[in-house]
Each structure stands twice: as C-alpha cells, then as structure tokens.
C-alpha cells in the first residue's frame, strides 16, 4: 500500500497539528487531568490514522478488457436506471452511480481505455452524495471517453464533505483502463452514463472495487 500524492500536504499538516495539540496537552493538562490528556491523544491519533487511510492506494490486480467497463472507484452501487442525460448526450442512456463513503479508497480510475473527447468542470452545491439531485446540481467534473465507436460519460461528484475534485484528463488524451483519472477528497459519488445496450453485471447495493469490479459489458 502507498499514499496518494494528493494527500501529501494534508497528511503533513495533520501530523504537525497532531504533534502540536498533544504537546500542548502534555505540558498544560497532563498533571491535573491525566485522563483527559490520554483521551486527546487517542482521539487525535485515531483521526490521524483515518487521514492516512483516506489517501491510501492498495495494491491490486486490475481488470482489463476491450468489451468491459470496470468500476472507476470503490463504493456501493446506489443507482441503475434509464435516464435522459443533462449534458453531452441527447439520447437516453443508462446511469450507474457509485456512492463512496469516507472509508473507501478515493482514487478514481479510467473505466475504459480510449480517447478523452470531452472534459468539463461544473461548479455547484454540496448536497449529500446519495441525494438524487446531486448528479445535476452538485459540484462535479464530467469526462467522456470514446472507445470502439461507443462513448461513456463519467462524472466525479462532490458530496456534503467533498470540497475538492481533482481530475487529470483533457480532451485528446489517449488513456488506459484502470489508470488514474483523478481523486475526490472526503466522501463523494461517481456516475457513469452508459449506452442503453450495455449489459450490466452488478446490482443495487453491491460493493465494488475501483479498477477491479466489472460493471458492465458490450
């Protein structure tokens, strides 16, 4: 397991804050309130471990295949339904949404290999990630991949806690399935807008792993 580069500054700042809080606690309250001092140490250490864990990149064998769409993130499948997209596409499509809790791995990966033909940032609200309107009203970053004459739109969507979406893709790039596309910090959601003829391989409430779980085939 390694730590993602997006976490370096946050982890450094959190470690410094952890040391400062406990240094102050030790010098000013350890004698009069030793139990409180220990509680501060344990609580702050648990928070520091959580921050390290949030930016983890576990070692995995990624799934690849020209006819497969793999999960772009870890999380739980919360939506599988036919929709009329609000951008790029004019025809009906399948939407598959994955909710990412703060405990999930938050690196995002390319669901397919192909050319990036569209990339757009949308400012917006910070509704909870499972809210139905989060797909169209929250801050989000949309990317469209073209592969074998098919197109897939992937939305990185901010949630109530997610305050920064990082996306590394630009139109014209040729990308590889399973490689990093970006990162969302502290709880969020990823939507995939797929062709109607996609054969979905997952179910509602199923847990998926980024770069590993096959979401669908064509």
63 in a structural domain: no
Instruction: Decide the pairing of beta strands 188-194 and 207-208.
Output: unpaired
Range of the domain at 15: 2-57
Both 37 and 112 in a single domain?
Answer: no
Both 146 and 43 in a single domain?
Answer: no
Tell me, what's the pLDDT at 172?
94
Both 7 and 110 in a single domain?
Answer: no
Catalytic residues: 188
Tell me, what's the pLDDT at 98?
95
62 in a structural domain: no
List phi, psi (to 5°) of 213.
-70, 130
Both 98 and 14 in a single domain?
Answer: no
First to last CA, the chain: 33
Both 81 and 36 in a single domain?
Answer: no
For 192, the token pair is: 């995939």
pLDDT in tens, the chain (218 residues): 788 888 899 899 999 999 999 999 988 888 888 899 999 999 999 999 988 888 888 889 999 998 999 999 999 999 999 999 989 999 999 999 999 888 888 899 999 999 999 999 988 665 665 556 666 667 889 999 999 889 999 999 887 665 678 899 999 999 999 999 998 876 688 999 999 999 999 999 999 999 999 999 98
Note whether 155 and 142 are within 8 A (CB).
Answer: yes
List helix spans (H) across the chain.
Answer: 8-29, 34-54, 134-137
């Amino acid at each position: 397991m390694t730590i993602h580069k997006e976490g370096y500054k946050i982890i450094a700042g959190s470690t410094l804050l952890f040391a400062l809080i406990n240094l102050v606690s030790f010098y000013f309250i350890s004698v009069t309130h030793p139990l409180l001092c220990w509680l501060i140490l344990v609580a702050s250490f648990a928070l520091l471990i959580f921050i390290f864990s949030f930016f983890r990149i576990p070692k995995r064998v990624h799934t690849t295949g020209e006819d497969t769409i793999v999960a772009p993130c870890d999380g739980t499948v919360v939506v599988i339904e036919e929709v009329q997209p609000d951008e790029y596409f004019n025809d009906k499509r399948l939407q598959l949404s994955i909710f990412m809790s703060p405990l999930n791995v938050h690196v995002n990966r390319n669901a397919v290999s192909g050319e990036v033909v569209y990339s757009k940032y949308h400012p917006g609200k910070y509704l909870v990630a499972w809210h139905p309107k989060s797909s169209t009203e929250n801050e989000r970053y949309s990317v469209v991949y073209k592969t074998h004459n098919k197109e897939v739109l992937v939305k990185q969507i901010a949630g109530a806690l997610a305050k920064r979406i990082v996306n590394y893709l630009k139109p014209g790039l040729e990308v590889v399935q399973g490689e990093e596309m970006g990162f969302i910090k502290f709880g969020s959601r990823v939507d995939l807008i797929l062709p109607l003829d996609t054969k979905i391989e997952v179910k509602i409430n199923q847990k998926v792993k980024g770069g590993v779980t096959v979401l669908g085939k064509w």
